[in-house]
Amino acid sequence: MMAYAERPQIGISSCLLGQKVRYDGTAKRNRWLVDQFGEFVDYRPICPEMAIGLGTPRPPIRLVGTPDNVRVLGVEDPSVDVTGALEDFALNTAGQLGDISGYVFMSKSPSCGMERVKLYAENGHATKKGVGAYARVLMEGLPNLPCEEEGRLNDPMLRENFVNRVFTYRRWQTLRARGLDAKALIDFHARHKYMLMTHSQAAYQRLGRLLSHLKGVDLNRIADAYEAELMTALKRRVGRKRHVNALQHIQGYLKDRIDGDDKKELTESIEAYRREEVPLVVPMKLLRHYFRRYPDHYIDQQWYLDPYPESLGLRNGI
């Protein structure tokens, strides 16, 4: 089991933790976020509508305009315009959240929705082309921050992807907080090799080239570029083919250590995953079993095999 960095701090829409801050005085407590993910992270709840003084219960608001010109107006009284207040609060909040490692927004909200929020034209017709005013400005201010909506986290692949990004970003933040040096940057890259390769081999290669000439350069500038490329790459979904490729590469480190029957068992496990007969956790557990018996220092350091707490069970569903 890998030694994880300190508990990630996660920004979150307050209603998802059970706080009754919605416009109608209700909450939207999310069981997985509170009862499971909450065992391993610390939440920083924020309700931008309450923060700008709207209170609860309150008259509802909605997005009005076009994708290029959006206002947040009152549903019952369109003269109520809270666009500037929400945007200003987001700008101020982004400047205070440099230590968080992820954010979970409430979907469909005119303040917090990440995507597909109802956007009303002047004639009253609505399309799902809006982004919540607070979420939009916050994500622009923190472009590398792992962000998701609670609704999208019902998708096992998106849930695993988000949690992986959160824990990787927390490791990166810890590295930068300790102070940069060339060795630490190269070690971080090496330990994330197979993880990065599953998301994008091209990104892994570009990041390697970025770190290939570190003597006499501004390491903070290099680290900024590395962080942006890293977090962009990790957003990409990973299909079975890429996982199979990584599993087979890692299996190669056992070729001279396990006997024919064990090789056959491991190969069949990977092939069963390829055929969608078993989830990713099955070949992963078998690989970890063999590496406990036949340790390899390089593979032991790879975060791909153990990127976040196993008890979250995220690889059971992909």
Task: Using alpha carbons only, give the angle 117, 121, 127 rounded to the nearest 5 degrees.
Answer: 35
Q: Are strands 117-120 and 126-130 parallel, antiparallel or unpaired?
A: antiparallel
Question: Tokens 């490791």 label which residue?
Answer: 171
Say if CB 159 and CB 314 are below 8 A apart. Answer: yes
Q: What letter would DSSP give residue 81?
A: B
Mean pLDDT of 6-24: 96
pLDDT digits (tens, 9 = 90+) for 244-299: 999 999 999 999 999 999 999 999 999 999 999 999 999 999 999 999 999 999 99
pLDDT above 60: residue 1: no
In the structure, what pLDDT confidence band is assigned to residue 6 with cuts at 50, 70 and 90?
confident
Q: Is the dihedral of CA 265, 268, 273, 276 positive or negative?
A: negative
pLDDT above 60: residue 2: no
pLDDT above 70: residue 4: no
Query: What's the start-to-end Cα distance of the chain, in Å?
Result: 21
Mean pLDDT of 180-198: 97
Mean pLDDT of 163-179: 97
Share of the chain above pLDDT 90, in %: 97
User: Where along the chain do its domains lie?
Assistant: 9-154, 160-318
The Cα–Cα gap between 291 and 258 comes to 10
pLDDT digits (tens, 9 = 90+) for 298-315: 999 999 999 999 999 999
The Cα–Cα gap between 2 and 21 comes to 38
The Cα–Cα gap between 232 and 74 comes to 36
pLDDT above 70: residue 211: yes
Task: Using alpha carbons only, give the angle 11, 309, 225 rounded to the nearest 5 degrees.
Answer: 55
Structure tokens at 273: 């995953």
According to the model, what pLDDT value does residue 122 have? 85
Q: Against a cut of 0.85, is the pTM above it?
A: yes
Structure tokens at 133: 């005013």
According to the model, what pLDDT value does residue 226 have? 98
Task: Using alpha carbons only, give the angle 91, 169, 133 rounded to the nearest 5 degrees.
Answer: 25
According to the model, what pLDDT value does residue 27 have? 97
